[in-house]
Structure 1
């Protein structure tokens, strides 16, 4: 499914296209959030051992966790803390960058898991907070790269809401996997640099008053220029203007003269 690009004109077709993008983003975000909730509830109800699905760094048995660890959460509080950021950030991504999201989300998912498996502490790493960190950094960086109104607006919004994620990539709490956060942030940065040009930039709407102002400005400048040329009052170029410290210019025959000031009559000036 390829969504129509955002346009500057608010026509009926544009409104329908925008509603389709919103529906696509909301449904995609809900599906992702529902996935982690279904897995957690099923594991809780059936008594599954979720430790086998986490990432165990440098352990071949922990490689499966690269794919499954985001669905595993250590507690209900852990799951709740990741639900709202995941829903909002994934919805923003799917709405603003539907084409880039198809590649950015899998890349963040895989690269963050591989990074944890390669260099994280020897422990069990679970949770989808690495993905949320990747989406936050992706949205912020891609908005700065594209510099369109939608991208910059979303970048400012996610930084206002979740700017604190920039601090959680550093070790702060013993039981928090800052390695997963840092790997997700790096993956989000890579995704933003790689896929910033996939989605077309919406053209900037030009209002009628801007065109009228440009026409008036151009007309006034053109008329002023013609009037100056006709009157012969065009000022000298800066390099032709005499410098005061070079003394008065010599008198010329064409009337371009410099008036000399008379010398001072005081012989012994006083200071006050």
Structure 2
């Protein structure tokens, strides 16, 4: 019986594996770039030029240095795990929307330079998880939002041009896209277990908990309930019950007669 309103969360391997795969792709791409000298930054987002559109899909896995790569590794892993755990049914949809539109917005608003790195997606996830938790008004999601603020709140300043070498446009794009996606994408209602009293066939008199309260809302103990029940039984006018019997004569068959 459904008695509590809550969102059902179940741990599954994808909570860890999917973010881990993203991290592996980032590191493999960096290793190949360094070993083969590909100058992969040229495949990043270059705003308002057709060649720069390829970076919408490739730039998150391209990093300019080991420090740059390392700084994005832990955030994408933990924020990705939070997304796949708390928003399992819409996680891939949300990640794909954030991945593509963060790159596109960066392509529109960015400076004429190559924009690379997973930080735009990280800002997207931070923004989405924060705003979705507030919009959903669920205590667990709000708690996750507060954790995101506590851990990554200081990075909000990097959506502004505080450092010339940082792609603040990518950060700003991720932040804005995360907010919009949090507004538009709905968490499936099938994830929600409703209160028993929210059911259409709910009858208060049949609820064991509600039986402990009278019509005025006063608490009634079990002994008091029994006393009131006895009084009701005593006041009930019982009618005489008539029993009608119909006698049917048994007719013996031929076998009985032969015996």
CA deviation string 1:68-97 (max 9, x = no partner) = 011111100000000011000000000000
Quote the Cα distance in structure 1 between the aligned partners of 2:100 and 2:133.
Answer: 23
The reply on whether 1:172 has 2:162 as its aligned counterpart is: yes
Please provide the CA RMSD for this pair: 2.7
1:49-198 equivalence runs, <5 A: 49-198=39-188
The offset of 1:160, in angstroms, is 1.1
**Aligned counterparts, 1:195-234, within 5 A:** 195-198=185-188, 200-203=190-193, 218=214, 221-222=217-218
How much does 1:154 deviate? 1.2
**1:150, CA displacement in angstroms?**
2.3
* TM-score calculated relative to the size of structure 1: 0.68
**Aligned counterparts of 2:36 and 2:56: Cα–Cα separation in 1:** 23
Aligned to 1:45: 35
- The answer (yes or no) to whether the contact 1:146–1:196 under 8 Å persists in 2 is no
Query: CA offset at residue 195 of structure 1?
Result: 1.3
Q: How many Å apart are 1:204 and its aligned residue? A: 7.1
Paired position in structure 1 for 2:11? 19
By how many angstroms is 1:35 displaced? Answer: 1.0
* Deviations, residues 93-147 of structure 1 (Å, cap 9, x unaligned): 0000012212111111111111111121111111110000000000001101111
Aligned length: 206
Equivalent-residue separation in structure 2 for 1:127 and 1:135 (angstroms): 14
Structure 1 spans left out of the alignment, 5+ residues: 1-6, 225-272
Please state whether the residue corresponding to 2:26 is helix, strand or coil.
helix
What is the TM-score when the length of structure 2 is the normalising length? 0.72
Flag the 1:158–1:215 CA change in 2: closer, same or farther, 3 A: farther
Larger RCO (CA within 8 A; separation ≥ 6): 2
Q: Is the 8 A contact 1:145 1:196 kept in 2?
A: no
Q: 1:178 to 1:218 in 2, by over 3 A?
A: farther
